[in-house]
Amino acid sequence: MIMKQCNVSTKEMDVIHLAFDPNTLESLIRTGKLHASDFNCLDSSSKQGVWSVLRSVAAGKIQLL
């Protein structure tokens, strides 16, 4: 998949709010395209979901060993 780079001018204080399907989030993290330190959870439910995704990715890496 080829992704085009977007050169949008944003200020440092601008924030873009996104919502990901958990499977898409897991795929992005698993492939190294997104790291947990790249984003913040906006509520406790989202934080629990992200932790679940991170556990799944970690479990997958352990199984490969």
User: Which tens digit of pLDDT belongs to each residue from 11-61?
Assistant: 666 888 999 999 999 999 999 999 999 999 999 999 999 999 999 999 988
Alpha helices in the chain (DSSP H): 22-30, 44-64
Specify the residue for token string 């873009």: 16
* 3-class DSSP state of 38: helix
* Higher pLDDT among residues 63 and 24, named by residue: 24
* Residue 13: per-residue pLDDT: 65
* Residue 48: per-residue pLDDT: 96
* Residue 14: per-residue pLDDT: 84
Candidates 45, 17, 49, 44; CA nearest to 36 is 49
